[in-house]
Structure formats: structure tokens, C-alpha cells
Amino acid sequence: MGQEDGTRRTANPMDVPNAIAEIIAMPPGTRPLRKAVHPGSKPQIAINDLTAKIQVDWLGETAFGPWIKDVHNV
């Protein structure tokens, strides 16, 4: 159903809507800010984790701190 993506795996166009449905089904407060969807390797997960840590470290003690910490479940 999907297109060859150069990794000998096919990208399914339903991956994104399915991921959105999974996130919507999660209870509030547990929904991730980002979700890797592609079935291949996911180097962006490490980048997202590092970005979240930097955001909390940098903005966590400001007036935006409670919001930042809620978004990152800290």
C-alpha cells in the first residue's frame, strides 16, 4: 500500500493517522509531545529527548516552568 522509501520497507500512509489516534486515546497528561512514526531507524528520538532536557533546564525555572514541565511530564 505504501511507497518504497529506500530502506526496503514501505511507508504506509496510514502510519500518521494511526499515530494520531493512539495519542488521542491516551489519557491527558500522558500524551507525548512528539512521536516517531516512520518504521525505520529513529535517531530523532535521542534528539527529542535531549531537546526536552534542554527546554526544561533552560525554561523550567522561569514563569513558563510549570507549562514546560507539564509538557515534558517532569
The mean pLDDT of 50-69, rounded to a whole number, is 90
Query: Does pTM surpass 0.85?
Result: no
Q: pLDDT by residue (tens digit) across 5-59?
A: 566 666 788 989 999 999 999 998 888 888 888 777 778 889 988 998 998 999 9
Q: Return the number of other C-beta atoms located less than 10 Å from residue 10's C-beta.
A: 12
DSSP characters over 3-52: EE-SSSSEEPTTHHHHHHHHHHHSPTT---S-----SS--THHHHHHHHH
Which pLDDT score is estimated for 33? 82
DSSP annotation of 74 reads -
Which pLDDT score is estimated for 18? 94
